[in-house]
Structure 1
Amino acid sequence: MNDASALYLGLISGTSADGIDAALVRFEQNTPQLVDALTHPWPDTLRARILAVAQDETRLDLDGYGRLDVAIGQCFADAAQNLLSRRPALAADVRAIGSHGQTLRHRPAGAFPFTLQVGDPSVIAERCGIDVVADFRRADVAAGGQGAPLLPAVHAMLLAQPGHTRVVLNLGGIANITVLGGAGEVFGFDTGPANGLMDAWNQRHHGTAYDAGGTFAASGRVDDTLLAALLADPYFALPPPKSTGREHFHLVWLESHARLASLAPADVQATLLELSARSVADAIERYAPSASDVLACGGGVHNEPLMRRLGELLGTRVLTSTATHGVDPDYLEATAFAWLARQRLLGLPGNLPAVTGARGLRVLGAVYPAPR
């Protein structure tokens, strides 16, 4: 396939479900280059439905699941169309859309490991008239892997520095780190919560999707007793490969700790911020002790108290945004799913077994053709 002039469009809504990120990507010598990007908002009622299901607050019957799958697919199609409407001259050059979908469950352990992302890709292909590649995680899970994280390969392409060990930190709903070794080695894993718990607690007490500027957390004080109880969760002690999501770190999990009832909401928010920062810093200290810098991306880079606390906990390691290296921190994930779509169409693997724990390299995703 002649791919020299093709564009790819990546779509993702992360664990926080705070919007659908859409990225239009061109490839220069196989390296992704962001052309344009936007974040498409969820309708409030649909976002509330997604979060209630993801946090296991609402159970779906088969009819409810089917309707949610199509509704999410329609919103993903809207996001792609909105981005392409800004670049109409380029729309015909889009070879495929890589759609991550919306994760509702991620349980890669146990007798029947699975991961579930919804957002009907056939709806996206029909609406946009462009082939769609979706369902990227299940092949890795079928091969014994975690199915996540899938970004480290793109982190390595864009941000590795030969002879220098660094960490790329993605601060989405869940935090994950990619360790880029100086000799080209790459591994990574989910460290635990980043924004997801803080967003949910803020939504409950302030009715907004996230703690803008971290002001809610900054108004409280860390409760050391609650923090110690949260950090005692077995997930944090598990060795990689490992991955997690909102189905584990959710408000029901938080409320299972008796200490919560005696605290002011702002103090709980401050403690959740400390949990995110501490679990990330502990993971970096343990698994990347020689790293001298940490490059952050994802929505958490805009949370000043979180970034400040991370900087304090990381000690002599320099914490900066990926923007300082020419990589937009808000659209790196969407860029990665454009790359994964291209890998699928080229018949090339998209996973890194050293990251996910899969038995080997796998071509990820299924193709949903547009109407011809």
Structure 2
Amino acid sequence: MAAMTTALGLMSGTSMDGIDVAALRTDGETIVERGPSLFVPYDDTFRARIEAALQTAKVIEQRDQRPHDLAELERDLTQRHAEAVHAFRAKFPDWQPELIGFHGQTVLHRPAEGLTVQIGDGALLAQRTGTPVVYNMRAADMVAGGQGAPLVPAYHVALAKSLPETFRRTPTVFVNIGGISNVTYVPASGDPVAFDSGPGNQLIDQWMQREGGLAFDADGVAAAKGSVHQAIVEAYLQLPFFARPAPKSLDRGDFDLSGVQGLNLNDGARTLAALAAEAVFAARKQMPETPKLWILCGGGRKNPHISGDLQRLAEADGGEVVAAEEVGLDGDATEAEAWAYLAVRSTRGLPLTWPTTTGCDRPVTGGVLAQP
């Protein structure tokens, strides 16, 4: 039996709102003891710097290029992650990590070109925290012909085996609704099937910022006053991405607000929430069997319109939709937990991805280990 490792996962996702920190004790396979988690928000100024970096990064042609001010941003982002680790250690002294899984911040993702860029200096983080760090976990998959995303499915498989008995129904689908949504189909046996399914919170957030001066639609309040323009939803769903076979992944810039141009604030928010739900549900067309259980993770599960729309669609299809908390999980911490789990798998040389999750030509491990 493999030894257990206490690992800390650090995730800064497409919503760019801050750092999720989560602890696990795991063997990197089937045993997962979930620990505490912490969220460290970015201030508005730093978040704006990351948003600006998405434009700067468009000229990158090699993974290690850091044009203009990206090198400075990378140092500052790494320092914020180090501070988040210190804050976690101070708050949860019983969960001192032996290993850190570091995602960094994605600023460019072009799978068709075999290029994905996450800023974040793993060696510097190891030095600042005094702890070994596994980072750069997507690159090996892309070398093997994969999309480099999603990587969380390996963890979803372990979670599916640990669900309470009443929720062990296969096939189970884990849905992560972040800026971009992704799904992991876990069958009764065999490898998982996973892919990005479409826009999650990203377009709603952009819409609220542009039209309402707000960071996001908290609790779906704006959408509650609006109506769904179904023709607009259908137009988005006709975009080429949805017809492409899985595995497939998205960059933040692959969808925009042109479809909702001219709507009022509330109708736009409600229509984009409907799109987020329908894009997830449309993913079932690329799953081998109809899912019996959909488990919602990520910030988008808190939008009652996204979760409610998906619930209605799934129920009509013979499925059930539940929030992560209903099955004993933490929907805010799942991705960060996954990065802790993947770090342990990386040190053991176990696969992080499979042909059915990213399109790689064989099961692939990955990651670079930096010692303090």
2:331 matches 1:329: yes
Q: Deviations over 1:350-371 (max 9, x none)?
A: 112221110112221111211x
Aligned equivalent of 1:137:
138
Q: Which stretch shows the higher mean deviation, 26-35 or 275-284? A: 26-35
Deviation of residue 115 (structure 1)?
Answer: 0.6
Question: In 1, are the aligned partners of 2:154 and 2:342 still within 8 Å (CA)?
Answer: no
Map 1:194-209; keep pairs closer than 5 Å. Answer: 194-209=200-215
State how far apart, in whole Å, the 1-side matches of 2:329 and 2:72 are: 36
Contact kept in structure 1, 2:26 and 2:344, CA below 8 Å: no
Matched, 1:103 2:113: no
Shift, 1:214, TM fit: 0.9
Write out per-residue CA displacement over residues 16-55 of structure 1, whole angstroms, 9 at most, x where no aligned residue.
1122100111126752222110111112111112123336
Structure 1 runs not aligned, ≥5 long: none
* Cα offsets for 1:63-99 (capped at 9, x unmatched): 31111111111111111111111123542xx221100
Residues 1:308 and 1:55: Cα distance change in structure 2 (over 3 Å): farther
Q: Deviation above 4 Å: which 4+ runs of structure 1?
A: 55-61, 160-163
Paired amino acid for 1:190: D
Q: Which of 160, 170, 175 is 2:181 aligned to?
A: 175
Which whole-Å deviations, capped at 9, do the CAs of 1:87-142 have from their partners, x for residues lacking one? 23542xx2211001111111101xx3211111222221121111111111111011
Equivalent position to 1:71, from 76, 80, 92: 76
2 CA distance for matches of 1:42 and 1:147? 26
For 1:67, the aligned partner's letter is E
CA deviations 1:170-205 (Å, max 9, x no partner) are: 111111111111234411111001111111211223
Q: Which residue of 1 aligns with 2:254?
A: 248
Partner residue of 1:265? 265
- Within 2, Cα distance between the matches of 1:224 and 1:162? 34
The 5 A counterparts of 1:41-60 are 41-54=41-54
- Partners of 1:342 and 1:156 in 2: how far apart? 15
Tell me: CA distance 1:59–1:271, structure 2 relative to 1, closer, same or farther (3 Å).
farther
The amino acid of 1:182's aligned partner reads: A
Amino acid at match of 2:321: L
Distance 1:162 1:266 in 2: 38
CA contact (8 A) 2:101 2:339 kept: yes
Match of 2:63 in 1: none
- Which stretch shows the higher mean deviation, 204-213 or 282-291? 282-291
- Rounded to whole Å, the distance in 2 between the matches of 1:64 and 1:202 is 28
Task: Name the structure 2 match of 1:192.
Answer: 198
The answer (yes or no) to whether the contact 2:147–2:249 under 8 Å persists in 1 is yes
For the residues of structure 2 that align with 1:230 and 1:204, how far apart are their CA atoms? 20
Q: Quote the offset at 1:272 in angstroms.
A: 0.9
* Consecutive unaligned residues in structure 2, runs of 5 or more: 61-65, 162-166
Alignment-mate amino acid for residue 278 of structure 2:
R
Larger mean Cα displacement after TM superposition, 6-15 or 203-212: 203-212
Please say if 1:318 is aligned against 2:323: no
Q: Distance in 1 between matches of 2:58 and 2:108?
A: 13
Q: Secondary structure of the equivalent of 2:69?
A: helix
Q: Kindly provide the amino acid, as one letter, of the partner of residue 12 in structure 1.
A: M
> What's the CA shift string for 1:217-260, capped at 9, x where partnerless?
222222233323322211111110101031212xxx323x4x61
Spell out the pairing of 1:16-31 with structure 2 (5 A cutoff): 16-27=15-26, 30-31=30-31
Equivalent residue pairs, number: 359
8 A Cα contact 1:133 1:366, kept in partner: yes
Match of 2:234 in 1: 228
Quick check: 1:55–1:247 contact (8 Å CA) kept in 2? no
1:367 and 2:369 aligned: yes
In the alignment, does 2:280 pair up with 1:275?
Answer: no
The TM-score, its normalising length taken from structure 1, stands at: 0.90
- Partners of 2:368 and 2:45 in 1: how far apart? 29
CA deviations over 1:284-311 (Å, ceiling 9, x no partner): 2452542111111111111112111111
Does 2:180 correspond to 1:212? no
Structure-2 separation of matches of 1:287 and 1:22: 31
Q: What is the CA–CA distance in structure 2 between the aligned matches of 1:2 and 1:291, rounded to whole Å?
A: 32
**1:73–1:124: 8 Å Cα contact kept in structure 2?**
yes
Letter in 1 for 2:36: D
What does residue 164 of structure 2 align with? none
How far does the alpha carbon of each residue in 1:151-186 deviate from its partner, in whole angstroms, 9 at most, with x for none? Answer: 111111111477721211111111111111123441
Please list, as runs of the form range in 1=range in 2, the aligned pairs for 1:86-125 lying within 5 A after superposition: 86-91=91-96, 94-109=97-112, 112-125=113-126
CA distance in 2 between counterparts of 1:225 and 1:89 reads: 53
Cα distance, 1:59 vs. partner? 7.5
Deviation readout 1:295-335 (Å, 9 max, x if unpaired): 11111111112111111122231100122222211111111
Give identity over the alignment, percent.
37
Q: SS at 1:62's partner residue?
A: coil
Aligned-partner residue type, residue 121 of structure 1: G
Match of 2:160 in 1: 159
**Aligned equivalents of 1:59, 1:27: Cα separation in 2:** 39
One-letter amino acid of the counterpart of residue 213, structure 2: G
Q: Of 78, 83, 86, which aligns to 1:81?
A: 86
